[in-house]
Structure 1
Amino acid sequence: MSKDPKFVAEQLRKPSGTSATETAQQMNKANKATNLAALKALNVVSGDCVLEIGPGNGKFAVNVLRKGSYVRYTGIDWSSDMVANAKDLNSKYVESGQMDFRVGSSESLPFSDGKFDKVIAVHTIYFWEVLQTHLTEIYRVLVPDGKLCLAFADKSFMQNLPFTQFGFRLFDEGDIRAELSDAGFKVISCGKHSEYGENNTKQLVEKKINIIVCEPDKR
């Protein structure tokens, strides 16, 4: 894949075309530890109905099912290439009805009110043009005692990456806490995840990740 920062940014936002598969593979390698840490923080249990926003090619979806019996998983991604790949990769779970993958955006979720017990979004909020629109939709599809987990790289780290100047919105913990409060959520935990690894331009960096878990504020 091209190392041009603008092209990298476009692919990370919406993997498509001949570079889609390679982009997904690189994201899976770069984001594995963060995905596992976020899923642990979300605490999926037996019987949960889980929505993942921006699952890419669905590489980590099976980890959700492994959290308990009768867990159901839905992934929604705005890349039709990624949804097609995710369905192929997880075909046996899709055919059994345990998984579903759809093309769409959390800006307008094609689900009924209160459908999901848990929602997770890892490295996706950079591309949400109006956070309140997305958060309001997530609030709507969560059950009243549901949980939302947002995992995102801190802007202190992200602002030094060459591709983030092209269409990325950067945040720190305080920014997102304020946005969540405005959308009617109450933060119940905020973890810091740090690791060393290659970024999408093959540079070795320390990744500083915020993992925030929240729930609808019932006050």
Structure 2
Amino acid sequence: MQSRSPDDPWSAVADDWGRYWGTFARPAWEPLLRTAGIGRGTRVLDVGCGSGELLEHLQDRGAVPSGVDPAPRMAELARARAVGADVRLGDVERLPFEDGAFDAVLAVNAFQFAEDQDAALAEVGRVLAPGGVVGLAGWAERARNDLDAINAALAAADDDEPPEDGPLRVEGGLTGVLGGAGWDVLDAGVVPVAWTARGDTDLVRGILFGEEEFTIADLAPVVVAAAAPFRLPEGGYRLMNAFRWAVARRPGR
């Protein structure tokens, strides 16, 4: 496993992220694309494109996708997966694209990393053409996620408290930040999102990706015990979770 870099933590875990989590949010893609009216020829920017799974899906739909991610290894994987897509390094508060370059901007499990959400939405608005739309999606509150049982067990093993829900995870969080910035919310909702693992090894590696080998060995029994209620009769695991999503139209100028 690659060692972590404090300056580029996501490049260090990019390959494992793609393997275990790359298509995890797929159920949230469809309501975003449908509500945003994304189809053949739509110019779409995927912010925080990660290892490129959504970019590839957009290509399959006939859209014209571009991507941006702050991690060089993530961008490299995205270019390899979505061949021909324009993938650049950057983040949502400093998008390296021209004004009005896109019909839609998507940010799936990414917008919560913006340090200044109002500035991020202003930057999204800058790269959108008139009438353009933004689609946001991310984790719903912890109580809706089976994965919280594992996170709580890991926190307890570290004599710590589980993290509290961020403001975007709760009901009205995404629509509130969009509406508060003057965007016209078109629709929003919650979708079930399953995470599966073929066995104990994938379960532990998927949960603890990016950790040192000695940490993985130490915490593996904690993860397996906490996931026991979600073990399938035929083996493997299935944990049900939820993502919130919202789509809004760019405010007029």
Q: Do both share a fold (TM > 0.5)?
A: yes
User: TM-score with structure 1 length normalisation?
Assistant: 0.78
Alpha carbon RMSD of aligned pairs, Å?
3.0
Task: Give 1:155 deviation, angstroms.
Answer: 2.4
Post-superposition CA distance 1:66-106 (Å, at most 9, x none): 323xx321100011001111112233xx2xxxx10011001
Q: Which moved more, 1:99-108 or 1:31-40?
A: 31-40
User: TM-score with structure 2 length normalisation?
Assistant: 0.69
In 2 relative to 1, CA 191–111 (structure 1 residues): closer, same or farther, beyond 3 Å? same
Post-superposition CA distance 1:10-60 (Å, at most 9, x none): 9xx95222x321122111142233334433333212322110001111123
Q: What does residue 240 of structure 2 align with?
A: 206
Task: Give 1:190 deviation, angstroms.
Answer: 0.7
Q: What does residue 191 of structure 2 align with?
A: 193
Q: Compare the two structures and name the one with the higher strand fraction.
A: 1
Q: What does residue 86 of structure 1 align with?
A: 78
- Given the alignment, which residue of 125, 129, 144 partners 1:139? 125
Partner amino acid, structure 2, of 1:27: W
Radius of gyration: which is bigger? 2
- Structure 1 Cα separation of the partners of residues 132 and 188 of structure 2: 16
- Structure 2 Cα separation of the partners of residues 62 and 183 of structure 1: 30
Q: How does 1:1-219 map to 2 (within 5 A)?
A: 14-17=9-12, 19-68=13-62, 71-91=63-83, 94=84, 99-156=85-142, 157=144, 160=148, 161-162=151-152, 165=163, 170-198=168-196, 200-201=206-207, 203=227, 204-218=238-252
For structure 1, list consecutive stretches of 5 or more residues without a partner in the other structure.
none
Give the secondary structure class of the aligned counterpart of 2:125. Answer: helix
Aligned-pair identity (%): 25
- Structure 2 Cα separation of the partners of residues 34 and 131 of structure 1: 21
Does the Cα contact within 8 Å between 1:38 and 1:122 map onto a contact in 2?
no
In 2 relative to 1, CA 116–60 (structure 1 residues): closer, same or farther, beyond 3 Å? same
